[in-house]
Structure 1
Amino acid sequence: MKYADMNGKLADYRRQIADIREKMRETLAAAEPQEVRDYTFNTPDGSVRLSELFGEHEDLIVVHNMGVACSYCTLWADGYNGIHQHVVSRAGFVVSSPDRPAVQKKFAESRGWTFPMVSHAESSFAADMGYVSAKGGWMPGVSVFRREGDTITRVSDTGFSPGDDFCTLWHFFDMLPGGVGHWPGVSSKPSCCH
């Protein structure tokens, strides 16, 4: 196939993806939110409630991170770090992981991360949100919450995996001959995901 023909075919696929994204937004808008309780998390400064993580916003994005043991979660966080200031102009944001606050703080400092982190180690939060596997391992993803008065609801969520839309590196690799190839430790499923 000639390059120009291939380019036209890829442009058509991208239009189809854009159409599917619009359908996803419409489906999401019609979904009934899931009411959740006001979970308590731990930070280096003490405990904090889910309701406090919204700050001045009605919406809150919580990333379900698997912690320092997961190279994929670290890759995602490294990439996210640069856009954090833009995200928090629209919604509250926090990364939740099973690591203890001291471990989170030390690792975040070593990576230069600027976003807030909370520990769900002493909470059923990850399990209740569906981010613990049947075998008891942590799973990566993101949940979006909305606060209206004293009520908190989860309005959407999705898992993270290699090739997803939340780590831009995958999309750059997709454009290379051979795709991801043998980039360090790549498999169809991260070994840290159980």
Structure 2
Amino acid sequence: MKKKNGSGGNQRRIREMEEQIRQMKQQLANLRREFPPQKVRDYSFKDSFGNSLILSSLFGDKNSLFLIHNMGVKCAYCTLWADGFNGLVKHLEQRASFVVESADDPLVQRKFAADRGWGFRMVSSKGTSFKKDMGYEGENKSPWPGVSVFTRNKRGEIFRVSDAGFGPGDNFCTLWDLLDLLPQSYREEGIDYFYSEVR
């Protein structure tokens, strides 16, 4: 289909930049794979019903685990990312287990997940040093959003092999690139988020 928007010169520059970005993303992925594995202990969490479980149990029958560092129900951005992951989780779980972690109480997690229609597993890290140890907790215990990938070897040892922080315009939310196609940039107008709060 013939492209209608933009002059020929601009279209050419756009395509060149798109190709450069694709190449740089591949270079970034390759660089991340050189990340020195970081051995971690078998942290304890609570599931959405308050039951204790350990990090190794989150792998299920997989040897890799995506663990999302979520800031909790008060963060609209984290809700936005989680909404997106909900549609991808079945695809991701073909290769690795997938869990979302926050410091919210288990009951709060369960109610909010039900309200959002989330189908992925959630665990609470409340009262643990997990976020801080992984580098996703700042001063005054303020949480940061992101993702860590863990692997488990045949001896049951757990390693973090990569991680990435989340933020507006990142590669972990499809919304940003779609909004950037609109005439008015969301970066100028901001984004409104609507969701019911769990009390």
The number of aligned residues is: 186
State the SS of the aligned residue for 2:191.
coil
8 A Cα contact 2:33 2:162, kept in partner = no
Distance 1:2 1:175, change over 3 A: closer
> Would you say 1:184 and 2:188 are equivalent positions?
no
Find the counterpart in structure 1 of residue 92 from structure 2.
Answer: 87
> Would you say 1:11 and 2:15 are equivalent positions?
yes
State the SS of the aligned residue for 1:52.
helix
- Superposed CA RMSD in Å reads 1.6
CA distance in 2, matches of 1:185, 1:35: 40
CA distance in 1, matches of 2:79, 2:118: 10
Share of identical aligned residues, percent?
Answer: 45
Q: Note the residue ranges of structure 2 that are not aligned, 5 or more in a row.
A: 194-199
Return the TM-score normalized by structure 2.
Answer: 0.88
Residues 42-100 of structure 1, C-alpha deviations (whole Å, 9 max, x = no match)? 01150111101011111100000000000000111111111111111110110000101
CA distance in 1, matches of 2:8, 2:21: 20
CA distance in 1, matches of 2:6, 2:59: 51
| Moved segments of 4+, more than 3 Å | 183-186
Q: Note the residue ranges of structure 1 that are not aligned, 5 or more in a row.
A: 187-194
Find the counterpart in structure 2 of residue 40 from structure 1.
Answer: 44
> Would you say 1:109 and 2:114 are equivalent positions?
yes
How far residue 135 of structure 1 moved from its aligned partner, in angstroms, is: 4.0
Find the counterpart in structure 2 of residue 172 from structure 1.
Answer: 178
State the SS of the aligned residue for 2:139.
coil
CA distance in 1, matches of 2:113, 2:21: 34
Find the counterpart in structure 2 of residue 24 from structure 1.
Answer: 28
